[in-house]
Structure 1
Amino acid sequence: MGDALQLKRRKVTRACVYCRRSHMICDEQRPCTRCVRRNIAHLCHDEESGHLQVEKTGLEPNPGKNDAVGAVGGILARQPMFASEHVGSEFSSLNEFLNMLEDPLVLDANLAPNAVPQVEQRAQEPIQEQLSSYQPTLKENFFLTAADPSAEMTPEDRLKSVINAKLEAGLLKPYNYAKGYARLQTYMDKHMNFASKQRILKPLSIIRPEFRAIARSLKDVDLILVEESFERMLLSYDRVFTSMSMPACLWRRTGEIYRGNKEFASLVGCKVGDLRDGKLAIYEVMTEESTVSFWEKYGSVAFDKNQKAVLTHCKLCRSDGSGQTTCCFSFTIRRDRYNIPICIVGNFIPL
């Protein structure tokens, strides 16, 4: 029994470092059978003087390599006795991976030195073919025209070029005033008596033919310029109405409200957003009598360029029908370059 224990202790004493850690019997071969079976034959070695000796095959950092590779070797050389028996294999794989990172082309040994430029060239060829055959849409053509300062032309010609491109793209159109008058007619048919409608239609029957005659003499581009002028005017009144404490709004000559401040919205019981882009009309927030009075006074000064403002009075109705407010009311007609009323600006002082 004593001889057997002595033999076993001698075998363990001569065991390789990994069999010794596992307290397993090791044979005399180097690499031992157990390390070969575990695919760590290159790490199999005897432990000398009770200290771990590290096999440097594939793990010794090379001079001039990245510091990370040297750090791996240093960590492995200082690995503790309780580390996994696979740690050497893991650090070896990590070492190889770090080496490959220094030279990415090693990842594909079949990749020729000039393969990357060739791939890029093959990718660029179909892109160039698509660009050469590309035809911009009308909308894209407008943006290209507006953004191209290289054309040698006068500012006026350039403006016409941009406007023509915008018109062809369908991004800017003359306003449909016939639709606005049809809306007014529908409202009168539903909410006004016959006498009131006749009083409103009388001034309109005079001014509308005049407007149509002037409009027929204009080209689409001229009408577009008028509409652009109206848009610029809206921007200026956005700032004016914000700074005013007096209720005010702006409407087209057909009655659709396009701007208004919060004071006017509070007066008629609506939101400020309802006073934009024709959601409400001025005749929809006035009493029938006040609407008739406005159209009669407006018709009398529509073509009078010397008339700056009209001072009168009116009654405003709340949109929910909860009440009316009597106001001192003044309105000013803003005209386009052809002397046609483009909008009316009204100011209201509650009494």
Structure 2
Amino acid sequence: MSDCVQSKRKKVARACVYCRRSHMICDEHRPCTRCIRRNIAHLCCDELPRGVAEEDPDLEKMSTREPNMSANNPVGTVGGILARQPMFASEHVGSEFSSLSEFLHMLENPLFLETDPSSVVLQVQQPSREPVQEQSPYQPTLKENFLFTAADPSQEMTPEDRLKSVINAKLEAGLLKPYNYARGYARLQTYMDEHMNPDCKQRILKPLSIIRPEFRAIARSLKDVDLILVEESFERMLLSYDRVFTSMSMPACLWRRTGEIYRGNKEFASLVGCKVDDLRDGKLAIYEVMTEDSTVSFWEKYGSIAFDKNQKAVLTHCKLCNPGKSDLTPCCFSFTIRRDRYNIPVCIIGNFIPL
């Protein structure tokens, strides 16, 4: 009877991990019968008997290695460790661990080793026969170079040097040319024909008929390079007044002797109901934002001092209007004439104080 009990309770060579932890008898089947009854058949696996591990501690370490692994093969060592299916609380984690094991096994036996190693080396070392076209660095156009120079916020140079670089870049780009004043006077003539009565038009043409021939006579005596230098001085004034108008709280603007506005601050733009950008590069003219009487008064006063070096500023009054609207703004108005080296008025700066 005792022999029968002992045969039934005879321990197997290897018990599964769960039977061993529960100190229960395991059988030779995998999954074992007990794990099947407990619905953990997918987790059932072998674990070395404790007695074997205690008798030879190195045996358990060696059992985790693949037969063809060596100490110099760290990937094989890790792959051998992963070859034993560890126990996880979830079967999904176990499947991910198995995928990692397969990946490490692929690293031990890469596919390209099945081919001739010399052919692989040749494929790696052989350069492509297709000609490689080197991409040349981008070269900006002269116009783009001028825009980059004008927008460069670098403070490494003095304001005078920066001004010279901007003007030189504009000259190289072909953007700095003598201004066509004939076109400016033609624009004024068209405006007077469409918006002014004959009497006011004649009052404006009278001073212009005196100063325009004088301007033409001086311009004809100058060479193209002289006219470009005059335009250069005008560009210098524009750059200077950009800073002046930004710091001024009084409405102000600058226009050419033909009337086209080239600079203005936000206060003046608000006064005449336009954008600051509309006060640049002749988009608006001073006679387009003044009433008819004020325009006539300005041209008469301007014509009387155009060639008088001793008289630069005039204090008067005017009424500003919003283009396209009937709103009028009476102002105290002063204007100052800036002349070039040939005593020709190159621009007029006006200051306005609303009443």
User: TM-score if structure 2 supplies the norm length?
Assistant: 0.63
In 1, are the aligned partners of 2:314 and 2:336 still within 8 Å (CA)? yes
Note closer, same or farther for the CA distance 1:244–1:79 as it changes in structure 2 (3 Å cut).
Answer: same
Determine the C-alpha separation between the residues in 2 that align with 1:174 and 1:106: 79
1:78 positional shift: 6.7
Provide the rounded CA distance (Å) in 2 between the counterparts of 1:281 and 1:208: 18
Structure 1 residues 239-258: aligned runs within 5 Å? 239-258=243-262
Change over 3 Å in CA distance of 1:46–1:244 after alignment to 2:
closer
- Equivalent residue of 2:127, what SS? helix
1:310 to 1:96, Cα distance in 2 relative to 1, 3 A: farther
Report the alpha carbon displacement of residue 221 of structure 1 after superposing the two structures with TM.
4.5
In 2, the alpha carbon distance for the partners of 1:172 and 1:80 equals 82
Aligned partner of 2:329 among 325, 332, 341: 325
Match of 1:316 among 311, 320, 340: 320
Identify the match of residue 86 of structure 2 among 79, 83, 97: 79
In structure 1, C-alpha distance between the alignment counterparts of 2:242 and 2:287, rounded to whole Å? 22
Q: Are residues 297 and 105 of structure 1, via their aligned partners in 2, closer, same or farther at CA, if it must alter by over 3 Å?
A: farther
User: 1:26: which partner in 2?
Assistant: none
Aligned equivalent of 1:341: 345
Q: Partner of 2:18 in structure 1?
A: none
Aligned residues: 297
Equivalent residue runs for 1:71-150 within 5 Å: 74=81, 77=84, 79-80=86-87, 83=91, 90-95=99-104, 110-112=119-121, 115=124, 118-119=127-128, 124=132, 126-127=133-134, 139=142
Query: Aligned AA for 2:340?
Result: D
Q: Show the counterpart of 2:230.
A: 226
Mapped to 2, the partners of 1:301 and 1:290 lie a distance apart of 17
TM-score by length of 1: 0.64
The alignment's C-alpha RMSD in Å is: 4.9
Q: Of 161, 185, 196, which aligns to 1:181?
A: 185
1:200 aligned onto 2:204: yes
Larger Rg: 1 or 2?
2
2:64–2:84: 8 Å Cα contact kept in structure 1? Answer: no
Unmatched 5+ residue regions in structure 2?
A: 1-7, 13-25, 38-44, 54-59, 150-160
CA distance in 1, matches of 2:194, 2:276: 26
**Aligned partners of 1:198 and 1:182: how far apart in 2?**
15
TM-superposed CA distance for 1:289, in Å, is 1.5
Q: Which one of the candidate residues 263, 266, 272 is aligned to 2:267?
A: 263
Give the secondary structure class of the aligned counterpart of 1:254.
coil
Question: Mean Cα displacement is larger for which, 170-179 or 232-241?
Answer: 170-179
Structure 1: gaps of 5 or more residues: 1-5, 24-44, 147-155
Deviates more, 1:110-119 or 1:210-219: 110-119
The structural deviation recorded for 1:247 is 2.0
